[in-house]
Amino acid sequence: MSTSRHHTTHEVLNQAPPRVDVDEFALNTALREAVEVFAPGAGTDLFHEIGRHVGTEQYQHDAELANTLPPVQHAHDRWGNRVDEIEFHPSYHRIMEYSVSRGLHTSAWADPGPGANVERAAGFMLVSQIEAGHGCPLSMTHAVVPSLRLNPGLAAEWEPALLSTVYDPELRDPATKSGVLFGMAMTEKQGGSDVRANTTTATPMGDGLHMLRGHKWFCSAPQSDAFLVLAQAPEGLSCFLVPRVLPGGERNPFLVQRLKDKLGNKSNASSEVEFDGTLGWMVGEPGRGVRTIIEMVGRTRLDCVLGSTAGMRQGVAEAAWHARHRAAFGATLVDQPAMAAVLADLQLEAEAATWTATRLAAAYDDDESAAYRRLATAVAKYWTCKRGPHHAYESLECLGGNGYTEAFPLARRYREQPVLAVWEGSGNVIALDVLRAMAREPESVAAFDAELAAQTGHHELFDRHIERVRGLIGRAASDPAAAPAIARRLVEAMALGQQGAVLLAHAPAPVAEAFCLARLGDDRSAEYGALPDGVDVAALVARA
């Protein structure tokens, strides 16, 4: 952009150049290494292509527009007919079109096999690093497949369009669509975590078809083609596929009351909806709605880990970029020890999240890892998403005042990160879910322990930490009634063990060593940048 030489009062100096036209995959050393470890057969051309695409000025501008010109609800058309449509800025459609065309919604199902979930995870993280909100419909569409397959008839009907890479956002007869998106609606006003409190009713009409009446207090991506919805059938809480448009083309009543005015996540429409004479087809067994939808929830939790990790990558990448181009008090910021320590610590957190997220995605490629992923997903969801907001805050502070303005992307990231901890099981609910899994599925504890035990003997601090984890697990098991009071302590300890194990097994030695010292040692700190002696700051900063 050329600037006018008239009326300039000063030269613009010492501002970092725009961080554009970069390959976000090439620059993300930890992600490249983790993909190599967990999807060794994956070609990297696609990731570089995605990395370059999201690194363009145009994509970054689209991400900004999609969030500053957020979706608008249209309850009626101009003649007063009820339509319940959501209008998005073209930038949002461009972003969605790109991600769907690269299979970042359902490629792991369309082309399954070793590495499939890792590859999808890597692509998902690359796009989410720049535009987070559109990850919500991508994620729900990915996650719905195993739940939907519990009703093979419905799966056969919907899967061709679900697995296609065509972005087809118009609401039409499902039979005429070349690509579809799915959402889910569980939360009601009187209870979100506790879905047993759902009051929406489902009256049997025969042949699995039910008529729904009631409401959902949160329903994201209401523009999607169909939803899995929980409602009370005569047999108890059950799961239903509710399409926006019925076979034949008639609209299914799906009354969008309003869009939520949210802290962040602006590009993603989140709505309140009502059902009145709304048709839904049962998925899974009657009265087993939670059991049916839990597969979907497990996978959206994985995507919360991926999304939060992507946010950390954005944070530290922007922070390091600024520090490399900005001088203060006579020296470039990155060369000043206090700043280098902050950047190294932010990178360490992003490394731990990246390696953990990729390892976790790999556990979805392999049925033998089912027990491990049951516990590991909840543990990683709790911890990575809890660490996200503070990481975003510290990253934006590296940009000084610029970081606090909407002209730079980290203000948006700061508002985005908390949602990943709130939805798909808020912190306490996840911590209690870990206790539940440990009590009901002891094989998940054994699998989790085995993953950690495999790395003992490499670092004294890690070995000591594992004993602490085992002690807390034993304490929770021996007194289940008292366990909720230590749930967060336990899950935090497990999460640090999980991160330490993957880093010791696969990350470069300076990263694993830094993690053990700074996250497991006695000299660990609550704030970023207060690293203990022995951490190789330069090695970490070089990877940021």
Binding site for ligand FAD (CB under 6 A): 183-187, 191-194, 218-220, 262, 265, 270, 419, 422-423, 426-429, 432
CB of 266 to ligand FAD, least distance (A): 10
**DSSP letters along 98-113, please?**
HHHHTTTTTHHHHS-S
Helix (H, G, I), strand (E, B) or coil at 219: strand
Q: Of 144 and 507, which CB lies nearer to ligand FAD in the complex structure?
A: 144
Q: Of 55 and 280, which CB lies nearer to ligand FAD in the complex structure?
A: 280
Q: Of 190 and 405, which CB lies nearer to ligand FAD in the complex structure?
A: 190
DSSP assignment letter at 250: P
CB of 55 to ligand FAD, least distance (A): 27
CB of 87 to ligand FAD, least distance (A): 19
For 222-295, list the strands marked E by DSSP. 226-233, 236-243, 255-259, 270-283
Measured torsion, CA atoms of residues 54, 135, 141, 36, in degrees rounded to the nearest 10: 60
Contact at 8 Å (CB) between 393 and 311? no
DSSP assignment letter at 175: G
Going by their DSSP bridges, the two strands 226-233 and 182-185 should be labelled as parallel
- CA atoms of 412 and 407, how far apart (whole Å): 10
Q: Of 52 and 213, which CB lies nearer to ligand FAD in the complex structure?
A: 213
Q: Of 71 and 192, which CB lies nearer to ligand FAD in the complex structure?
A: 192
CB of 241 to ligand FAD, least distance (A): 15
Locate 375 and state its tokens: 């516990």
Phi, psi values for residue 217, rounded to 5°: -80, -30
Q: Of 129 and 268, which CB lies nearer to ligand FAD in the complex structure?
A: 268
Q: Of 432 and 520, which CB lies nearer to ligand FAD in the complex structure?
A: 432
Q: Of 46 and 422, which CB lies nearer to ligand FAD in the complex structure?
A: 422
Locate 408 and state its tokens: 């730079």
**DSSP letters along 122-153, please?**
HHHHHHHHH--TTHHHHHHHHHHHHHHTTSHH
Measured torsion, CA atoms of residues 408, 413, 415, 421, in degrees rounded to the nearest 10: -170
Of 33, 28, 59, nearest to 318 by C-alpha is 28
CB of 53 to ligand FAD, least distance (A): 26
Residue with smallest beta-carbon separation from ligand FAD: 192
CB burial of 125-148 (b: ≥16 within 10 Å; e: otherwise) equals bbbbbbbbbbbbbbbbbbbbbbbb
Measured torsion, CA atoms of residues 113, 115, 121, 123, in degrees rounded to the nearest 10: -100
- CA atoms of 308 and 386, how far apart (whole Å): 9
- CA atoms of 269 and 267, how far apart (whole Å): 6
What is each CA distance from 227 to 96, 224, 278, 282, 345, in whole angstroms? 18, 7, 12, 12, 41
Q: Of 221 and 334, which CB lies nearer to ligand FAD in the complex structure?
A: 221
CB of 312 to ligand FAD, least distance (A): 20
Q: Of 85 and 424, which CB lies nearer to ligand FAD in the complex structure?
A: 424
CB of 349 to ligand FAD, least distance (A): 23
Phi, psi values for residue 109, rounded to 5°: -95, -35
CB of 229 to ligand FAD, least distance (A): 9
CB of 253 to ligand FAD, least distance (A): 18
CB of 361 to ligand FAD, least distance (A): 22
What is each CA distance from 289 to 86, 297, 322, in whole angstroms? 28, 12, 49
CB of 186 to ligand FAD, least distance (A): 4
